[in-house]
Structure formats: C-alpha cells, structure tokens
Amino acid sequence: MICSFTQTYSNNRNELFTYHNKDNVDIHFRNKLDKNYYAFHNSPNSYIENICEQTYFKKINNMEIITYNDISYTQSWFHTLHKLKNDGVKYLFFLQDDVFSQVNDNILDELLIFIKNNEFDMLNIEHLNIDIEKPVIYSHDNIKIYDTKSDDFSKKNLWEFDDGPYVANIDFLLNVVYDDAYFTKDDIWIAEPYLNNKIHVNKIQRLSSNFSMFKRFNIVGKNAWWREYELQILNSFHK
C-alpha cells in the first residue's frame, strides 16, 4: 500500500489552500495512491470544517482526516506512523502542508512505477541532481534515480535529513530514522536539528533524482523570509 501524509496546524494557514486548490498535478498524483491521510494538529473544529470545504479536499479520493489536540508535533507523528503501519502502508509520501508539485503528471506517474516495482529505504523528492556521478539505480523515459546517501546532501550544503518531502519505507522510518529521543522533542524547531545531527553520525540511504518533484514554499509561518519571491513562483506555476 502506498499513501501520502500531510499535516497542517493551528488556524492561520488558509492561504496555502489558495494554491493547493489549483495544484492539479498534486491532485492527480494523490488520486493514484491507495490512501491519502491529512492531519490537523491543534486546530479548532470550525477551522478544520472550513479547510475541508476547499476544492482540494473535494477532488482527492481515499482521503482520511486525522485530528490531534493537546499533544506535541512529534507525538502526533508518532501516532500517525503507527496508525499507518497498522493500516498496511508500505511506502509513505511525506508532504507537509506547504509542499507543492513542481513537475507534470507524467514524471510523477513514472515515479510511481519505480516505487511499485522496487525495494528501497528512502528517496528525497525535493532536491535534484545531488550527485550525478553516483550510479543510476533506475531510469525510465524521463526520470533517473541516483544511489545517493545522506552525506551526499551535506556536500551540497544541504541538511542530511530534514522535514522536506520524501517517500520512504515505513519500517525504515520506524526502525531507523525516528527514535524514542526524537518523539520526546516538543516541536519541529528542536526535532528537525536533532534528526539532522543523528543522521550526520549514522549515514542512511537517501536516494535522489534528476527532478525536483515537490518543493516547500514558506509563504506563511516563521520561515517566510522569502515570501514575496516564493509567491511569485507559486503564482506563475499554479495559475
């Protein structure tokens, strides 16, 4: 079973759905998956009801809404991972609420062919061409998958692991990536650096490709330093 998981939080991220409603590639992609999970973390019921009325939610099949209140972000993720494991998920697309598609339908269809026919631990789907000198372990009409590891990302001055979009085997996430110490962290601002440092010491498979398939756009929240620039990109790409 292949699924997607997205989580949003609080009650002030409405603007993101202006663009999710127009992200037809993402909608097409999720409708090809076996299941789509969408979680609300510490969001009031009125806000959840309003967001779920957005066009985006009306167009996506096999959507299950999850709500979490009065627990930390890491604890919500702990409960999600175990729920998905119990539901029979094998590969999980991790796509936070500020992630949008960057390629056409055909590229993501090819990506799904790779996932359905290969065994792997983790594939980063945000950063492209991390190391094109590494062996190509898979190729199709358009995409290439490179045999990169976490330390190949640090050589490009990128985090060796972060909260960006990826697809991974759920057993690998539960047994290798996330651990008891991670789940004690109060928020993502503490948890994300912890994981990056952990993976720096314990190198993992982090495959990459020749496409940036999904990308984070920090137009709301604490990291919205480049808001105007990123809005220009979103407005040009998702009309």
DSSP state at residue 179: -
* Residue 112 burial (C-beta neighbours within 10 Å; 0-12, 13-18, 19+): middle
- What residues does 128 pair with on adjacent strands? 209
For the chain, the domains span 2-237
| Model confidence band, residue 225 (pLDDT cutoffs 50, 70, 90) | low
Q: Is 233 within 8 Å of 167 (Cβ atoms)?
A: no
Mean pLDDT, to the nearest integer, of 187-214?
93
Residue 106 reports pLDDT greater than 90: yes
For 18-57, the pLDDT digits (tens) are 899 999 999 999 999 999 999 999 999 999 999 999 999 9
Would the pTM count as exceeding 0.85? yes
Beta strand pairing call for 214-216 and 136-139: unpaired
175's CB contacts (< 8 A; 6+ apart) are none
pLDDT at 146: 97
Residue 218 reports pLDDT greater than 80: no
* Chain position carrying tokens 């949003």: 8
pLDDT at 223: 67
Task: Give me the architecture of the 2-237 domain, per CATH.
Answer: Alpha-Beta Complex (3.90)
Mean pLDDT, to the nearest integer, of 183-196?
88
Q: What is the dihedral of CA 38, 5, 222, 71, to 10 degrees?
A: 70
Please give the Cα distance from 8 to 237 (Å, whole number).
Answer: 22
| Model confidence band, residue 238 (pLDDT cutoffs 50, 70, 90) | low
Mean pLDDT, to the nearest integer, of 60-70?
94
Please give the Cα distance from 107 to 169 (Å, whole number).
Answer: 20
